[in-house]
A = this chain, B = another copy of it.
């Protein structure tokens, strides 16, 4: 279990800042216990460390005001989107102000000809895609949860479509951000490429609110494909499924999604979503393109899968069938929880070179069995990224300890395989203990950047790097 050290609190500064903010924001600053706890909500086993107040700004100027007040009085500022992050990103270990972006949820400008859009950080990905649909456009990054685009940017999120469309780092063109001293910067213009100086866009993407608060995001868009085809097939082993994935990638099939569910996960999904999938490792796929192209992709995939012993291959372009299949995938988390009602699900996230994926998944399954843990696996396997969801009874300290041992072991194995302790969830509080092991002295460079830009350590302190 993640041991959290509370940061030392600047009580005097916090009290002063609260007074000023209350006067300025009135009812848009809240200090009730439940709203504060909800804003330190973690969907995992990390303890709740609530902020002292939650403020709901409406525009960039208000965010800059909040940050300036907090900077003057050296008070922590913690950005909040929808609270779906998994590694304690929204916790406030030193107290301070949670800045909830819920009211900054406007889609500012769609540049359809340029395939980009400018949004405020509180816009959610489903809200954006609903807005874009009539124009034949979509935003491809899909982490599962209906997260805010500000949060997705801050954690460098990705998900099921990343194998084709990349992660947030590939889909953010420019950012507006309030820096730790309250200055507002724009990191780039709206051109599709740039070599103009240091890539501040990419520095802020994935910085988890520790370097600045994102107040506006310019995102790349895609045209909705002419045709979409989904497919599934079952494999005799995880190894056979992973070998198929490698072949598909090598072959250059531009697959849009390629997801692995292990046998235990398929069992969970069958029960929860009333499906009858064979309870062996399963690949779910989606192909985007022209009618001819998706047909060819599906056919090529089918032939490759057969070589690796796949069975039950089914492809469909029916919207209804597609949605049913992908709904089951998106419900995998809830389905897993039903494998053990009442249990807490601990989702951990590793990513390895694809050549090591089968071994990594296989060893994770063995280790979970050895430690007597129930831990179904789902993976964005085209990228070598997978999650174990460890189902534990938080009232059983020995079981919690075994889960902790498992998570640590898995993250270290991924690092040893030249992979990372987080492919998409971020470091937050939960993965700080692995970061130095993964990147060594590079973390000193991160500390130097953090100290240069945020010398008083007010921006989401206690995340990514310890100061």
Contacts and interface: CB of A to CB of B under 8 A. Distances in A.
A13 interface: no
Contact of A438 (B196, B250, B352): B196
Contacts of A343: none
Contact of A193 (B197, B251, B423, B453): B423
Contacts of A427: 195-197
A384 B423 CA distance: 31
A397 B155 CA distance: 53
A246 interface: yes
Given A250-B113, A385-B193, A419-B190, A185 B442 contact: yes
Nearest to A254: B254
Given A190-B419, A193-B167, A202-B169, A185 B446 contact: no
A107 interface: no
B354 A114 contact: yes
29 contacts: A111-B355, A113-B353, A156-B195, A158-B193, A162-B193, A183-B441, A188-B439, A189-B419, A189-B420, A190-B418, A191-B353, A191-B385, A191-B418, A192-B354, A192-B385, A193-B420, A194-B420, A194-B422, A194-B423, A195-B426, A196-B422, A196-B431, A196-B435, A197-B439, A198-B446, A198-B450, A199-B203, A449-B453, A452-B452
A421 interface: yes
A445 interface: yes
A199 B205 contact: yes
Interface stretch (A54-62, A96-104, A220-228): A220-228
Contacts of A198: 203, 206-207, 211, 446, 449-450, 464
A199 B439 contact: no
B449 A351 contact: no
A352 B114 CA distance: 10
Nearest to A166: B170
A273 interface: no
Given A115-B250, A423-B194, A438 B189 contact: yes
Given A191-B383, A199-B202, 16 more contacts: A112-B250, A113-B246, A114-B354, A156-B195, A184-B441, A186-B439, A188-B439, A189-B419, A193-B424, A196-B421, A196-B438, A197-B206, A197-B435, A203-B449, A223-B250, A292-B293
**How extensive is the interface on chain A, given as a class?**
35 or more
A17 interface: no
Contacts of A251: 223
Nearest to A243: B113
A460 interface: no
- Which residue, A114, A169, A422, has most C-beta atoms of chain B within 10 A? A114
B193 A351 contact: yes
Interface string A167-186: 10110000000010001111
